[in-house]
Structure 1
Amino acid sequence: MYYLVWHNSSHIKQPLCEEVMNLTTLTHRDALCLNARFTSREEAIRTLAQRLTTLGKIADSDAFLEEVFTRENLGPTALGEGLAVPHGKTPAVKEAAFAVATLSQPLIWEGVDGPEPVELIFLLAIPQDEAGSTHMQLLTALTTRLAADEMRARVQAATTADELLSALDDEGDALTVTTPLTAPSIVCVTACPAGIAHTYMAAEYLEKAGRKLGVNVYVEKQGANGIEGRLTAEQLNAASACIFAAEVAIKERERFAGIPALIVPVAEPIRHAEQLIRQALALEPQSEKRAQQEDIQQPEGLKTELKQALLSGISFAVPLIVAGGTVLAVAVLLAQIFGLQHLFDQVNSWLWMYRKLGGGMLGILMVPVLAAYTAYSLADKPALAPGFAAGLAANMIGSGFLGAIAGGLIAGYLMRWVKNHLRLSRKFNGFLSFYLYPVIGTLGAGSLMLFVVGEPVAWINNSLTAWLNGLSGANALLLGAILGFMCSFDLGGPVNKAAYAFCLGAMANGVYGPYAIFASVKMVSAFTVTASTLISPRLFKEFEIETGKSTWLLGLAGITEGAIPMAIEDPLRVIGSFVLGSMATGAIVGAMNIGLSTPGAGIFSLFLLHDAGYGGLLAAAGWFGAALVGTAISTLVLLLWRRHAVKQGKYMTDGVTP
């Protein structure tokens, strides 16, 4: 065990890793090539592979070399600072081992940013059945150990096998370097596609350079296990600059708004960490106002956490639903307008392909995606694969939208429990993230959905479907009014999203009335803003009038958020009027029993309605007419309330009081 005091965030020593791997047990003096000289990367790899074959570590040298060169073609294995770690995982390896070559002359090797000189080569040979454990353990141990300049220098300077083995066996001394609280601070994020080697090496180098320069450097690693070492609000607020060393998108980047940022490839800190810190400190402050961050609080309770998880899942599923619905809508419209119904139904025709593409996004992908990202919101990246598995299981047993929610919650809470209780030393991070988490989660969540929870949820789902199909008369009218109220109550907020989720769930079960109600109601608030500002502009402020010029277009696209600026300005009267008109619209569409099975089509839904026996033209007129009736009611109520408020001096406009 060895320890490190991280800057001055606390004066308590914290473990860098739970157990230090003894590297010398995986190599041999005959696997070491000192002061070697190679003409090519291929020659170096073949020479080191031959050493391991002679030692009996590799059964089939040709098969091993084929695997190594295949891996070389997939991505760079030069990690910067003159270090390259080629590796192969194959049944041709009998026993895990590595060979080392120190070079008398640098050799050009492919790195993250292109060819780079290499002076130290470690060739890893891993049996296939140890691909997750020994491979990740060895790779992490090597990259962490060799991040120290002194360690690399000792290995490179070794003139005998004993000296090199001694350098590898050195676990390093305790390092207790502190940085004053008054020193400048920098926050950093490191992330690479695999989330292991470069992510942690870049972090090590940035922290080491910060200690050397007397700068507080705080690094958040967004790796295979999700976010590790999450930056606190205090660290973000105190930061003079930030460094993004990443090859993938930064998670939750809005936290860094207003902080001068330096963006570089993930390998850059390995080569020029001190230079990057100096460049970051020299950045000019941004003109953008910097918001003070607050630490993320734990959810107030289970209810809040469940709501957040569901809304998160829906937010990730919405683009899929909109895209799939639009593609399907286009296919249906083309078939109807141009008389291409025969192509629409003909297997493997181009129009049938589009129909299947859009339909597949809605009918096959929607449930697994919703489940996966509901789970993701609860337990981060380790819950993604189990969430997808739970959603797929929901599709298999016909539990639909409710099954997606249940499966996502099961996978999320299961993986949270696994993350909290299954603890291995840091060197097993790769094995834990890429093997144990997805396998345990998939088997656990999938089994619970298939054999325990799924069937009862499917029964509830089918019962709800039967109830919705049986609605008529006053019951259908009441359902429409309720959905209308929910849609316009918070204009895209949690209540609106709850109604949206209900309608999508019903649609997934073959009940299309609720979504037809929802789609018609979505136009009411936007149309009302435009109509009211056109009819009596003197009752509104200038920004409301400007807003009204474009919200009708948003309404045609089915977007309610365009009405939010006016609602924020005068919430009681504006939201109240929206809700009254929306309830009327919902009641009309509900009573007509019109259906809509294509989400996200906006005004083009006119051509996609299930007409309930009215005929396409009459159904379209009723559906759109209901939105206009609701708009008229909302506009009249809003104008009366606003006029009264202005006269009473309760609301001030930019114009002349009428």
Structure 2
Amino acid sequence: MKKLLAVTACPTGIAHTYMAAESLQKSAAEKNVPIKVETRGAMGVENELSPQEIAEAHAIIIAADTDVLEERFAGKPVIKVPVAHGIKRPGELIDQALAKQPSAPSAAPAGRAKTEEKETGSGNSIYKNLMNGVSNMLPLVVAGGLIIALSFIFGLKPAEGTFGFQLLTIGKAAMGLMVPILAGFISFSIAGKLGLAPGLVGGMLSTQIGGGFLGGIIAGFLAGYVAKGLIKYLKLPKIMEGLKPVLLIPLLSVLIVGLLMIYVIGDPLKWLMDGLTSWLLTMGSANAIILGAVLGAMMAIDMGGPFNKTAYTFATGLLASSLFGPMAAVMAAGMTPPLGIWLATVLAPKKFTKEEREAGKVASVLGLSFITEGAIPFGAADPLRMIPAFMIGSGVAGALSMAFGVGLHAPHGGIFVLAIPNAIDNILWYVLAIAVGTIVTALCVNLFKRNKAVA
């Protein structure tokens, strides 16, 4: 009997990783196909695949938006797709894997690359590299942002030497590493270990020249491809090959990236970030509402996918520039799809099966915790009706948050951030924006959704 292996991973490692694993396992069980799924989530690697299991496997399914150490699958047939496909198309992926021609474990790695190339394009590769940086950056952003928010308990500007001041110092230290880590792990995803040093240096230079998170993204891709080019094209006599990884590539890649960041990219980046900051600070109410609506809709259109993560990365990146409005809009909009689903099941229970009503209760908890993925089961089951409903509700929540001038100083935490003094500017208006977005989502869901037989 053919045995399959799978690996699932998403940038945050909270929801998509485990939902994709569960979908693949369930679909494989229905087809009576043995499968083992390795998850690479927020808690690290779980159910790790052993070399023997890889050698015995017929094919491997990679449903991931971050790096999963693909080199270990050299010579094996590989199906490589975004993690969302593992949730929405598990049966199709298993059928594709079973249809692959078996190959020996010692087959050339080039065969593996050819197999993967059919399943992923350059656009997905860019997204995967970006999300690898974002996933490694997020713990710093969340920890740093929440610690800064906690320092506000002792006042917005705690006196030097006080406990509140020390909390603020710790939080700022974590946030200060945000851009270098983002750039470093984008580069690492492209070029491997040798891409880390130039990426970290490029990210640090971006913060020093005022390039912000946009500069970090550019520095990460620049460093990755510079290091990758040096690895591929720098030729030395065989006796000197050992100098490449320990001396020449680190030296040349850091030097090239550093000089380009300072002399070529730095000034345009600073101009771009200064212009963006100035526009966000001075934009009128109409532009603020439009921006909030767009960010809100992006949070709901794929609930943890590329659009969602782009909006979240944009908002968290602006925290370093003391721009807190977009962060508030993004979190409000990210909470409303699962909260709206729960409210919809309460308002019109006859439109939902018993299982859906129970799932709605779970979604409410996830929504309160700012885990948008809680609405995915409903969106995946009926995307043409549910996704527009989610986008409308989230767009309303984001627009109202920006219109009310709400600012959020913490990058995560959901409803629990409300308990931290001074963490939210205009807190009552923020609660109203979330409540209205939730109600609009629920009404749209029930309006668009067809009736279901009561289970």
Provide TM-score, normalisation by structure 1. 0.51
Distance 1:409 1:425 in 2: 29
Counterpart-to-counterpart distance in 2, 1:436 and 1:227: 26
Q: How does 1:111-510 map to 2 (within 5 A)?
A: 231-234=74-77, 295-297=115-117, 302-333=122-153, 335=154, 344-347=158-161, 349-362=162-175, 364-424=176-236, 430-510=242-322
* Residue aligned with 2:323, SS: coil
1:464 Cα deviation from its structure 2 partner: 0.8
| Distance in 1 (alpha carbons) for counterparts of 2:421 and 2:302 | 27
Q: Residues 400 and 461 of structure 1 are in contact (CA less than 8 Å); yes or no, is this contact kept in structure 2?
A: yes
**One-letter amino acid of the structure 2 residue matched with residue 352 of structure 1:** F
Structure 1 letter corresponding to 2:431 = F
Compare 600-609 and 384-393 and name the one that shifted more.
600-609
Deviation of residue 576 (structure 1)?
1.3
One-letter amino acid matched to 1:501: T
- The structure-2 alpha-carbon separation of the partners of 1:567 and 1:229, relative to structure 1 and needing over 3 Å to count, comes to closer
Q: Tell me, what secondary structure is at the counterpart of 2:190? A: helix
Aligned counterparts of 1:402 and 1:378: Cα–Cα separation in 2: 18
With 534-543 and 393-402 compared, the bigger mean Cα shift is at: 534-543
Could you tell me which of 415, 420, 436 is aligned with 1:629? 436
1:459 Cα deviation (Å)?
A: 0.8
Change (3 A) 1:290 1:546: farther
TM-superposed deviation, 1:545: 1.6
Deviation of 1:308 (Å) = 2.8
Work out whether residues 417 and 423 of structure 2, in 8 Å CA contact, stay in contact via their aligned partners in 1. no
Q: Deviations over 1:370-415 (max 9, x none)?
A: 1011111211111011100000110111111111011011101101
Deviation at 1:427, TM superposition (A): 6.7
**Unaligned segments of structure 2, at least 5 residues:** 1-50, 58-68, 84-94, 101-111
CA RMSD of aligned residues (A): 3.1
Q: Name the amino acid aligned to 2:269.
A: V
* TM-score, normalised by the number of residues in structure 2: 0.73
Contact 1:331–1:354 under 8 Å retained in 2: yes
How far residue 473 of structure 1 moved from its aligned partner, in angstroms, is 1.6
Q: 2: distance between equivalents of 1:227 and 1:579?
A: 35
Mapped to 1, the partners of 2:120 and 2:281 lie a distance apart of 37
* 515 and 350 in structure 1: CA distance in 2 versus 1, 3 angstrom threshold: same
Aligned equivalents of 1:609, 1:355: Cα separation in 2 = 13
Which whole-Å CA distance do the structure 1 matches of 2:303 and 2:120 have between them?
24
SS in 2 for 1:452: helix
Cα distance 1:307–1:346, how it changes in 2: closer, same or farther (>3 A)? same
C-alpha separation between the residues in 2 aligned to 1:476 and 1:319?
28
Q: Do the aligned residues in 2 keep the contact of 1:525 with 1:563 (CA within 8 Å)?
A: yes
1:426 and 1:365, CA in 2 relative to 1: closer, same or farther beyond 3 A?
Answer: farther
Rg larger in 1 or in 2? 1
Q: How many residues align?
A: 364
Tell me, in whole angstroms, the C-alpha distance in 2 between the residues paired with 1:454 and 1:571: 43
- 1:308-334 Cα deviation digits (max 9, x unpaired): 32222112211221122222222323x
Distance 1:493 1:227, change over 3 A: closer
Question: Structure 1 residues 566 and 441, CA, compared in 2 at 3 Å: closer, same or farther?
Answer: same
State the alpha-carbon separation in 1 of the partners of residues 270 and 324 from structure 2. Answer: 19
Kindly tell me: are residues 567 and 421 of structure 1, through their superposed partners in 2, closer, same or farther at Cα, counting changes over 3 Å? same
Inter-partner Cα distance in structure 1 for 2:145 and 2:118: 36
Structure 1, gaps ≥5 residues long: 1-202, 217-225, 238-253, 255-288, 647-651
**Is 1:601 aligned with 2:421?**
no
- Whichever residue aligns with residue 630 of structure 1, its letter is G
* Equivalent residue, structure 2, for 1:584: 396
Distance 1:420 1:505, change over 3 A: same
SS of the aligned residue for 2:213 comes to helix
- How far is 1:350 from its partner? 3.4
Q: Using the alignment, how far apart are the partners of 2:360 and 2:447 within structure 1?
A: 18
Q: Give the Cα–Cα distance (whole angstroms) in 1 for the partners of residues 422 and 295 of structure 2.
A: 18
Letter matched to residue 231 of structure 1 = A
Percent identical residues = 33
User: In the alignment, does 2:331 pair up with 1:519?
Assistant: yes
Q: Secondary structure at the match of 1:598?
A: coil
Measure, in 2, the Cα distance between the counterparts of 1:299 and 1:451.
39
Distance 1:431 1:538 in 2: 70
Q: 1:428 to 1:601 in 2, by over 3 A?
A: farther
CA distance in 1, matches of 2:72, 2:358: 45
Amino acid at match of 2:171: G
Q: In structure 2, do the counterparts of structure 1 residues 298 and 401 end up closer, same or farther at CA, with 3 Å as the change threshold?
A: farther
Distance 2:203 2:406 in 1: 29
**Conserved 8 A contact 1:595-1:609:** no
Contact 2:210 2:269 in 1 (8 A): no
Is 1:299–1:305's contact at 8 Å kept on the other side of the alignment?
A: no
Q: What are the superposed Cα offsets for residues 324-348 of structure 1, whole Å, 9 maximum, x if unpaired?
A: 2222222323x25xxxx78x3223x
- Code of the residue aligned with 2:276 in structure 1: it is L
**Structure 1 contact 325–601 (Cα < 8 Å) conserved:** no
Q: Distance in 1 between matches of 2:314 and 2:152?
A: 24
Which residue does the alignment assign to 1:640? 447
